Amino acid sequence: MSSRNPILDPKARENLPGEDYSSAEVALANRNSGIHLEVMRHDITPIGMHYLLSHFDIPYVENAQDWSLALTGLVELPVSVTLEQLSALPRVERTVTLECAGNGRSLMQPRWPSMPWTCEAVGTARWGGARLSDVIELAKPDDTATELVFCGADSGVDGGDYHTFKRSLTLAQIAATDVMLAWEINGQPLPPQHGFPLRLIVPGWFGMASVKWLTEICFTDTPFQGRQQVGSYQYRASADDPGVPVTELRVKSLMIPPGIPDWYTRDRLLAAGTVELFGRAWAGAGARISLVEVAIEAGPEDSPGQWLDTQGAKDATDPDGLIWQPAILSEPVDDYAWTGWRLDWNAKPGAYRLRCRATDEHGNRQPVVAAWDKGGFGNNSVQCVSVWVEQELPVPA
């Protein structure tokens, strides 16, 4: 976003050097979608506005009655349970913030060619279903079982590897997290894109763990080596780094860009006066947010046009002397749900960069610039929103 008045000084619609995206990336960005940041006003993201990430095709499932979940592997007797049988288990509802592990990928340079998220792959929904632990009891697993492999109904090719979307969790990880099987989102049956009719929800973890279109849970005693477990979703500092598994969310915050947008560039224009800055913050494994701070950096007064950074924080910098002021936090609506924050800013005319950063109860704090990752995972760099403040805004035509 450039820091200039988009009415008086409209920017040409041209790409900056290094900004080109491949047609494959654009196609991925059309299939998958992020939250509109302004929708973060809602505690619970409306259905259809929650972010989406599906690797392959969305399976066509005609009706939920014909669906069954196979419990296989190291169990007393392999069984198939219907959704009706699952609904007889004690019902549980949880409000959970999910974020894609690749969120922020396109802000890392060089970027990994994949879904080119900037910062919008996040959402918070009220998921309804049953506890995974109750389903595990139904399965009567063998004492030797250590790990569960969750299998989706979708298959495809990635890097020449033809596979079904599968992820695993160890029993120890399951015991530490309130994992659920969900068939409802915000009081409705899951829509096709969110995993109809049944999915896993792993609260406090990045989204890849929450397997959609769940067909099978296989109990095993060997670490699962599937493509989506070990081939991807590894933090890698370089190409030859063996990798560290991507698991829990990293502490992060976002701000709703204030003011009015320019349609094409998303540049922000504001009137001087009191501006309420509002956003959300979340952390891994159900940790609470203890602090959100906002830094307001005033631009070079004489030549504000020098600030020509692009959408989000592509040229993320960590300027010296940022002054961080604490925002007011609201109570999270649930243990694994984001926290609202706000701060009133008395805006004076000029160019500004606004940043927010969160700290969780364990002292984990968002870095202004996160370490580069080969696959573009876990980018919890501080978001930077550039705005232009005018004494007054004209009346819209």
The binding site for Mo ion (CB under 5 A) comprises 53, 100, 207-208
| Using rule CB under 6 A, residue 194 touches ligand MTE | yes
Q: Do the Cβ atoms of 216 and 72 come closer than 8 Å?
A: yes
Distance from C-alpha of 149 to C-alpha of 170, rounded to nearest angstrom: 9
Query: What Å distances lie between residue 163 and 55, 225, 234, 264, CA to CA?
Result: 11, 12, 18, 39
Q: Which of residues 141-170 bind ligand MTE (CB under 6 A)?
A: 152, 154, 165
Nearest distance from residue 305's CB to Mo ion, in Å? 37
Distance from C-alpha of 322 to C-alpha of 314, rounded to nearest angstrom: 18
Contact partner at residue 380 from Mo ion, ligand MTE, none, CB < 5 to 8 Å by partner kind: none
Identify which of 377, 360, 211, 176 has the alpha carbon closest to the alpha carbon of residue 284. Answer: 360
DSSP string, 329-369: EPPPSSTBS-EEEEEEEEE-SEEEEEEEEEEETT--B--SS
Q: Which amino acid appears at position 291 of this protein?
A: L
Q: Which of residues 339-358 bind ligand MTE (CB under 6 A)?
A: none
Grouping H, G, I as helix, E, B as strand and the rest as coil, residue 124 is strand
Nearest distance from residue 81's CB to ligand MTE, in Å? 18
Identify which of 180, 204, 255 has the alpha carbon closest to the alpha carbon of residue 98. Answer: 204
Nearest distance from residue 241's CB to ligand MTE, in Å? 21
Distance from C-alpha of 312 to C-alpha of 19, rounded to nearest angstrom: 13
| Using rule CB under 6 A, residue 212 touches ligand MTE | yes
Scanning 204-212, 219-227, 343-351, 353-361 for contacts with ligand MTE by CB under 6 A, the matching segment is: 204-212
Contact partner at residue 2 from ligand MTE, Mo ion, none, CB < 5 to 8 Å by partner kind: none
Scanning 13-21, 45-53, 86-94, 105-113 for contacts with ligand MTE by CB under 6 A, the matching segment is: 45-53
Contact partner at residue 282 from ligand MTE, Mo ion, none, CB < 5 to 8 Å by partner kind: none
Choice between 232 and 383, CB closer to ligand MTE: 232
Contact partner at residue 316 from Mo ion, ligand MTE, none, CB < 5 to 8 Å by partner kind: none
| Using rule CB under 6 A, residue 54 touches ligand MTE | yes
Q: Do the Cβ atoms of 16 and 310 come closer than 8 Å?
A: yes
Q: Could you say which of 5, 6, 34, 55 contacts ligand MTE (CB under 6 A)?
A: 55
| Using rule CB under 6 A, residue 213 touches ligand MTE | yes
H or E, element range at 31:
helix 23-31
| Using rule CB under 6 A, residue 208 touches ligand MTE | yes
Binding site for ligand MTE (CB under 6 A): 50-55, 98, 100, 152, 154, 165, 194, 207-208, 210-213
